[in-house]
Structures are given as structure tokens and as C-alpha cells.
Amino acid sequence: MRYDERDTVFSRLLLKIGSNEFDEYYSQNPGNKQCDMNLKMKKKEKMAKSAGISNGKSKGILFMGKSEEKSQNKSIMSIDPNSSDHEYAAFRLMVEYQRLASSINDEALNMDVNPTKRNIPPETMSVLVKEFLKLSGLDAVGVAEIGPDDLYSHRGFSTELHKYGDEINLDYKYAIVFAVPLEKDYINRAPSKELFMSAMLGYAKSSEVAARLAMYIKDLGFDALTDSSFTYHSPISFLAEKAGLGQMGRCNSVVNPKYGNRTKLAAVLTNLPLAADGKIDFGLKEFCELCRRCENNCPVKAIASESSTSENGEKYWKHNHISCMEMWINSGNSCGICMSACPFSQGTDEELVSRMKDSPGVMAEILEKHSEKYGKRNYIKEPLDFMPPK
């Protein structure tokens, strides 16, 4: 079954009350309306407070990572009117990086495909693609063959190229998926402005690299399309799992053996002949049963305590997206506590990880070492030097 992007909380929060899209969606999904309306109100109150809005007048400054016309207000970022000069400068750095990534993404979209196709064996081409990403500083990379259920069925956002509700019918065979790790010093301060900055920079870098990779593939004579934060065509975590980047954990994110879930994902969809990688199983599902750190650290209990089994027999944990989004809104910084709570996000002995599957003793050793070093989680209360005190 294909996922519908209109069902994501991000899409639902942007539906304009009284619009045709709003009325149609909630006539078909009445059970989501009350909780979504509550979230809309909380979001409105939080944004007004952050912007310093009083009696309809803004005393603060609003910046956008993407234009409202391009993203249907999807990525508005605001800065506290009482921010320090250092914080303002750091925020501007983040915004400019997003703007640069957006410009390169547009260049990739508008680039024509070279009419001369290069005849390179799939195995060789897969190595070259991974080398391209390695030169971009990334080593968590994989190739997935796109199946009939791997892309969204309908658009959940309007852009210059797509309308909300449009069916997604893309004819690509492969997805090159990669992960951009976020800085530990930033995520370990979650929920905080440092975490938010790191996440936004992660989105920007992953989008920029995806655009450059798409241009490289087009120059080889094959069509390519970015699947990144500017426009997602898939629920990308599942493509990442299929490409062998990691396994879906209790936290509802892909957990990579090296970087944990402190990553931002992006992909390039293409018909370039490639050799697909397979899924990996390093024992994460069993590890998550023992660990529970993301669950125990979640302030709003959005992470399930009991596992479920999917139709294809795979273990998973239900995620309360409404509670999770409420925490995002209340913190004003995208939360991120589950990222810092994951032992793999902090770096785990690679030799132990290689022996972890089917070995509860090794899992217990990993958890014991993690607890001795970090306790409940590696939480750093002090802000980074360039950030003002909380």
C-alpha cells in the first residue's frame, strides 16, 4: 500500500481552514480533525509569541528558508526578537545555507539531460555514485530498486511544479539514498536552538548534495530527480531502510549502525543503471526491545512501549505523530530528544555492533557501557559558546 503525503501531520497543519482542500480532507478523515485543529491553534500561538506579535503587529523578524510561494509556507523559520547579535548572525548563516541549497536544487531541476548516454556497467556506476558522495563527505549511502509502493500516492504540498492532491506517477527504477549526520554537540543539547540549527543545516546539505548528484547523473545521459526536503516524493525512511542504510527503530526513524538516528536523509531517483543494495539486519529490532531509551526519554510519550507486527511480518513500533508534533511546537526547536537518546547516535563500538545480531549478551554490554558513560542520555545543558543562555 502506498502512503499518501496528505496524511502526514506536516501537510495537515498547512491546510487552510475553509479551503476546498481542508473540507475535502476532513470529510474523508473526520477522526483527524479535532486533534489537528488543536495543533493548529498551538502552532499559531507559538509563532505569534516567537515573532513578538501583539495586536496584529510584529515586533520580531521572520525569515523563510524557502519562499512561501514555492513551499506553501512549509519551511518558515523565525527568530526571537530578543535574540543576541551572535544568535542573529548564526541564524542568518542557517538561512543563507538554505537559500544556497534552494538555488542549486532549482539548477538541477532545470538542467537538461545530456542526449549522449554513457555506457557504464551497473556495478561500476554504483561504485562511482558512492565515490561521488564520499567526496561530498558522506559514507552512509545505498541504492534501492524502487517498487510499486515506495513513492507517495498523492502530493501533500503545493509547489511551483506540483499541486496539492496531484497523483504521483514517476517512472524511475532506482533510488540513491544517503544520510547526512548531524553534529553530536548540537543534538545533545536537544530540545534547543542548537538542535534546530543542526537539523536545518542537515536538510540544506542533504538537498544540496542531492542536487549536485542529480546534475552529475543528467550529464551522464540519464534522467534524475531529487527527493529531498524541498520536495519529497517518498516516505524516505523506508527507501533508506531498503537501500541498506539502517533499520527502522522504536523511534520511528532509520537507525544507522554508525550515526544512529541523528541524520537527515535525501535521495536521487533515476533510471541510471545501478546495482541495488539489499536491506541490512544488524539486530536493531531486538536491541530496541532491550534499550527503550528513546521511549523513556520522550517527554510526551509519543514512542510506543509495545511492538506491533506488520502485514509482512516485520516488527515495528507505533508512533503518536500528534504528541510528537505538539512537542515540536511547544519546544519551538523541533525537539530531537530521541536522537540524542539513541546509543548509536553517540557512537558505539563497531566491533561490538558487528557481533550484536542474535547476541543479547553483546547488546547488554553495549547498553551497560552507554549507561556508564552517559546515564539516561547524553544531555548537555550549557549552550554552545556562540549561543545565548537558555
Q: What is the pLDDT of residues 326-339, one digit of tens each?
A: 999 998 888 999 99
| pLDDT at res. 79 | 62
Mean local confidence (pLDDT), 285-305: 97
Give percent helix, percent strand, percent coil of the chain, each to the nearest 5: 45, 15, 40
Q: The C-alpha cell of 356 is what?
A: 550484536
The answer to whether residue 376 scores a pLDDT higher than 70 is yes
Segment 24-44, tens digit of pLDDT = 999 999 999 999 999 999 988
CB 94 within 8 A of CB 200: yes
Q: What is the dihedral of CA 149, 258, 199, 128, to 10 degrees?
A: -60
For residue 332, what is the DSSP state?
Answer: S
Q: What are phi and psi of 378, to 5 degrees?
A: -80, 85
Residue 89's pLDDT is what?
80
Closest CA to 364 of 374, 375, 352, 347: 352
- Which pLDDT does position 15 carry in this prediction? 96
Strands 141-145 and 174-181: antiparallel
Residue 187 falls within a domain, yes or no? no
Identify whether 313 is part of a domain. Answer: yes
* Residue with the three cell numbers 564520499: 134
The predicted model scores a pTM of 0.91
Residue 344 resides in a domain: yes
**Do the domain assignments include residue 149?**
no
- How confident is the model over 43-75, as pLDDT tens digits? 888 877 765 544 444 333 333 333 333 443 344
- Cis peptide bond N-terminal to 235, omega within 30: no
Using the predicted structure, report yes or no on whether residue 139 has a pLDDT greater than 90: yes
Mean pLDDT, rounded, for 129-150: 97
Number of domains in the chain: 1
Length of the chain: 390
User: Residue 234 falls within a domain, yes or no?
Assistant: no
Look up the domain containing 314 and give its range.
284-374
Question: Within 13 Å, how many C-alpha atoms sit on residue 324's CB side?
Answer: 18
Q: Which residue has the higher pLDDT, 80 or 273?
A: 273
Exposed, middle or buried, 219 (CB in 10 Å: 0-12/13-18/19+)?
Answer: middle
Answer whether 123's CB lies under 8 Å from 275's CB: yes
Domain membership flag for residue 262: no
Distance of CA 153 to the CA centre of its chain: 19
Q: Give the torsion sign (CA, 271, 215, 231, 266).
A: positive
223 domain residue, yes or no: no
